[in-house]
Amino acid sequence: MSKYVATVGSAAYEQIKKDIIYGVLTPDTKLKLGAMKTTYSASVSTIRETLSRLASEGFVVAEEQRGFFVAPVSREDLIEIADLRILLECTALKTSVELGDNEWEANLVAAYHKLHLAEQQILNGDLAITETWKRCDSEFHQAMISACNSDNLLSLHSVIFDKYLRYQMSVLTNRGANAVKEHKRMCDAALKRDTEKAQTILTQHITRGLKHALTAFDTRD
């Protein structure tokens, strides 16, 4: 199940990206090449290449001649990211619901099922599977919009989704039962080809998540 990684570079990329999203590398941390060399077992050139990639995706900030830093977080940035997720995901959702074929339906049902199982475990208090749960969440949303017929849109969405995920993780806003119900209702609406309803639920889903994240953000130490 874990991703097969051919090169040292792509292994470092996956790991560093994950470490940023899951808060192992905290916002604004200086990413010293010498240190990362040992942590991620790759040469400085390879690490640089990786950080450059992450910088152009916005997970890292590169300052000429001064090195790399984990991208900062802010209230404003969180709002921007949430708004963009609504914009991109709703746009993709519309087309996907309209165009999705049997293959899409089957994939969606499967993804929903896996997500459902993970959500039950989380609701039972099994925090050890947080990463699995979040991957299922990601794959479910991806499955919803996968028939949107625009690879460009999907790849923009993917980056924004991951940035949103970093905020989710940083405040670990378990909206629990509510978010679970929204997933079910959104999935049902999509399968019934009710585009508008699916979009409305998705927008609420993200907006409510944003609200929770914002209050957590405001009241953080």
Partner DNA sequence: ATATCCTATTTATTCGAAAATAAAGTCAAT
Partner DNA sequence: ATTGACTTTATTTTCGAATAAATAGGATAT
Structure tokens that stand for 56 in this block: 């152009």
- Comparison of 44 and 110: residue with beta carbon closer to DNA: 44
Structure tokens that stand for 131 in this block: 């990463």
User: Which residue in 68, 133, 140, 164 binds DNA (CB under 7 A)?
Assistant: 68
Judged by CB under 7 A, does residue 53 bind DNA? no
CA 184 to chain centroid:
19
Residues that bind a copy of itself (CB under 8 A): 6-7, 10, 45, 48-50, 52-53, 55-58, 64-65, 77, 80-81, 83-84, 87, 91, 150-153, 155-156, 160, 163
- Comparison of 50 and 146: residue with beta carbon closer to DNA: 50
Nearest to 108 by CA among 2, 186, 206: 186
Nearest to 111 by CA among 144, 79, 86: 144
> In terms of DSSP bridges, do strands 30-31 and 60-63 run parallel, antiparallel, or are they unpaired?
unpaired
Separation CA 35–CA 109 (nearest Å): 44
Structure tokens that stand for 30 in this block: 């200086």
User: Which residue in 2, 66, 218, 220 binds DNA (CB under 7 A)?
Assistant: 66
Residue 184 CB, nearest distance to a copy of itself (Å)? 28
53 binds, among a copy of itself, DNA, none (CB under 5 to 8 A by kind): a copy of itself
Judged by CB under 7 A, does residue 65 bind DNA? yes
CA 52 to chain centroid:
20
Judged by CB under 7 A, does residue 32 bind DNA? yes
